[in-house]
Structure 1
Amino acid sequence: MALLEVNNLDVRFAMRGGEVCALRDVSFSLERGERLGIVGESGAGKSVAAFTILNLIAKPGYIAGGEIKFDGTVLNTMKPKALQSIRGNRISMIFQDPMMTLNPVLTIGAQMIECLKAHRRISTKDARAIALHKLNQVFIPSPEKRLDQYPHELSGGMRQRIIIAIALLLDPDIIVADEPTTALDVTIQAEIMELLLLLCEKHNVGLILITHDLGVVSQVTQRTLVMYAGRVIEQGPTREIINDAQHPYTQGLINALPQMATPGSRLNQIRGSMPTLTKIPAGCAFNPRCDFASDICLQEVPNFVGSGNCKVACHMVDAMVKGQPWTPILTDKPVTKTVPLPEVNA
């Protein structure tokens, strides 16, 4: 049994003009010590999926269907008080902006000690010792000094290291990192991701990494979910997805990486933009931006099809796997093979 299982999750927001669906039929799992990446553009539903795991969706949002199981316990039906024993204790979260996470009027030590006392019966002296140990683990220089400093006295990279230390305070089974390097420069980003990878491997902690950067995912995670308009459209081993993406959207994300463009030329981009929740296209939500869309893409939501060790929700890939010709609307020319498809397991 997987440590974390998310099955057919639907999340909706009640609006004045009617409900909108932020997550549709999202399913994935995480084994103990496994590193999972969730990627996609802004608005794809990545952060909503992360917040929903810990039931941090605020009203008017709510879980409309599906199940979230952690270590055999169903989280989405637990009472708030019972959920507190898991949230921050066995499942920790790292948010995008450390200055929004840390309390500006409390010292780093006071915040770490408060976190420990909220979940354990422990003296202030012992809590401070644990906080000091965790700061050492994330390679904070002069950790004794940092405990008595305020967040504004630290650099952005150091604040993010402290957030990671706080996430590790109670030795969690899973860390959910929601774009943890967004506000940092490239050099510090690499240091933070290397630190997360080292800590997860050393302590056998599961990691769910939310990001829009496939370059980061390729270096840190073992499996990847690609999301678009609230749905998972491709999932599988990270190496297979990076080296041989099947869905046209995933191909577009990879082609948009700076290193994929010729030096001196314009960067590649996916035409159009992510649809709003109130205007999700019929059929495959990606069809208005897809160069390979056919008539069926405008009418039917694609089911998952197996391709190698990956699963892809794409009518075109389904046709290619079955050896059928494919005629995109934009070209009216039959396509026999759009991407190199691995052999499908029987």
Structure 2
Amino acid sequence: MSLLSVRDLVVKFAMRDQTVTALNGISFDLNRGERMGIVGESGAGKSITGFAILNLISRPGFIDSGHVMFDGMDLAHTSDKALRTIRGNRIAMIFQDPMVTLNPVLTIGQQMVETLQAHRSLTRRDAEKIAVAKLREVYIPAPEERLQQYPHELSGGMRQRIIIAIALLLDPQLIIADEPTTALDVTIQADIMELLLELCQSNNVSLILITHDLGVVSQMTERTLVMYAGRIIESGRTRAIINDPQHPYTQGLIKALPQQTLPGERLKQIPGNMPALSAIPPGCPFNPRCEYTVDRCRTTIPELVRVGPVEVACHEVQRMNRDTETEEQTA
């Protein structure tokens, strides 16, 4: 049985003059110990998916329908008391900015000890021992000294390592990492992602990595969901999606990677922008930006169908494949 099973999840936001849909029929499974990436541009619904799994959608947002089954419990329809036994304990979340996550007026030790004591019957001394052990696990030097320091006394990379240590404090079964290296220097980003991968593998922890960077996803995850305008438009094994993307949006994301462009050339980009939630076009939401658009794309939402090793939501995927084969034969 899957550790996490999301079915037909719909999240809406009640605005002053209308209700908009942020997630529209999201469904996926995550196995124990599996690492999955969720990718897409800003506004695709990636972070909302992470928050919805933990039922952390704040008003005016709300889960309108669907199920989030975690180890037999539906997190979308359960009490706040039951959710408190899950959040931070069995499911941990790593947010984008560690300075927002860490409390600036409490020492690192206070924050780690309080987290442990909120979920475990531990003395302060025992909680501090566990905190020191977790700091060592994420390669924090002089961990006993770090417990006495405040977040502003540490570098960005050190703070993010501490966030990871806090996420691992209670030995969770699942970590949701929402753009965990956004605020960090490029050289530090690689170290943090390598550390996160190592810890998930050594502790058999499932991972949902939310990011816009397909390069990171290719190195970190086994399976990938590509999202656009609140929908999953392609899903499958990461290697299959990276090597042979089927949806024109996924193809555009890969072509836009810097390594796909020769030195001195302009970076490739997908024309247009992600639509606002209040102005999602009818039919396929990607149709205004897609070179393969036909009349059906403007009126009918495509369903996810299996094409080889992946599932893709595109009316014209067969025609695209024929065009690609023709181009390759001509070349």
TM over 0.5: yes
In 2, the alpha carbon distance for the partners of 1:12 and 1:339 equals 38
Secondary structure, counterpart of 2:323 in structure 1: coil
Secondary structure, counterpart of 2:300 in structure 1: coil
Counterpart in 2 of 1:148? 148
Counterpart in 2 of 1:192? 192
Q: Which amino acid counterpart does residue 68 of structure 2 have in structure 1?
A: I
Q: Which amino acid counterpart does residue 337 of structure 1 have in structure 2?
A: R
In 2, the alpha carbon distance for the partners of 1:264 and 1:113 equals 52
Alignment of structure 1 residues 34-183 onto 2, 5 Å: 34-183=34-183
Q: Which amino acid counterpart does residue 99 of structure 1 have in structure 2?
A: M
Counterpart in 1 of 2:322? 337
Alignment of structure 1 residues 229-240 onto 2, 5 Å: 229-240=229-240
Query: Is the CA contact (8 Å cut-off) linking 1:33 and 1:205 kept in structure 2?
Result: yes
Counterpart in 2 of 1:257? 257
What's the offset of the Cα at 1:336?
Answer: 6.8
Superposed CA offset, 1:111-139 (max 9, x none): 00000000011000000000000000000
In 2, the alpha carbon distance for the partners of 1:90 and 1:12 equals 26
- Decide whether aligned partners of structure 1 residues 265 and 32 sit closer, same or farther in structure 2, where only a CA change above 3 A counts: same
Q: Which amino acid counterpart does residue 38 of structure 1 have in structure 2?
A: I
Query: Is the CA contact (8 Å cut-off) linking 1:246 and 1:339 kept in structure 2?
Result: no
In 2, the alpha carbon distance for the partners of 1:302 and 1:146 equals 52
Q: Which amino acid counterpart does residue 103 of structure 1 have in structure 2?
A: N
In 1, the alpha carbon distance for the partners of 2:251 and 2:325 equals 12
Alignment of structure 1 residues 306-317 onto 2, 5 Å: 306-317=306-317
In 2, the alpha carbon distance for the partners of 1:315 and 1:77 equals 34
Secondary structure, counterpart of 2:76 in structure 1: coil
What's the offset of the Cα at 1:73?
Answer: 1.0
In 2, the alpha carbon distance for the partners of 1:58 and 1:140 equals 34
Secondary structure, counterpart of 2:139 in structure 1: coil
Runs of 4+ in structure 1 displaced over 4 angstroms?
A: none
Counterpart in 2 of 1:202? 202
In 1, the alpha carbon distance for the partners of 2:62 and 2:163 equals 27
**5+ unaligned residues in a row in structure 1: which ranges?**
321-325, 327-334, 342-346
Secondary structure, counterpart of 1:210 in structure 2: strand
Whether 2:276 is the aligned partner of 1:291: answer: no
Root mean square deviation of aligned Cα: 1.1
In 1, the alpha carbon distance for the partners of 2:248 and 2:131 equals 46
In 1, the alpha carbon distance for the partners of 2:305 and 2:4 equals 23
In 2, the alpha carbon distance for the partners of 1:93 and 1:217 equals 18
What's the offset of the Cα at 1:264?
Answer: 0.4
Q: Which amino acid counterpart does residue 147 of structure 1 have in structure 2?
A: L
What's the offset of the Cα at 1:337?
Answer: 1.5
Query: Is the CA contact (8 Å cut-off) linking 1:181 and 1:189 kept in structure 2?
Result: yes
In 2, the alpha carbon distance for the partners of 1:177 and 1:302 equals 29
TM-score (norm 1): 0.93
More helix by share: 2
Alignment of structure 1 residues 206-225 onto 2, 5 Å: 206-225=206-225
Superposed CA offset, 1:3-23 (max 9, x none): 000000000000111100000
Superposed CA offset, 1:78-135 (max 9, x none): 1001110011000000000000000000000000000000001100000000000000
Counterpart in 2 of 1:22? 22
In 2, the alpha carbon distance for the partners of 1:227 and 1:129 equals 42
TM-score (norm 2): 0.97
Whether 2:256 is the aligned partner of 1:271: answer: no
Secondary structure, counterpart of 1:118 in structure 2: helix
- Decide whether aligned partners of structure 1 residues 336 and 260 sit closer, same or farther in structure 2, where only a CA change above 3 A counts: closer
Query: Is the CA contact (8 Å cut-off) linking 1:244 and 1:340 kept in structure 2?
Result: no
Identical positions, percent: 65
What's the offset of the Cα at 1:220?
Answer: 0.3
In 2, the alpha carbon distance for the partners of 1:115 and 1:58 equals 22
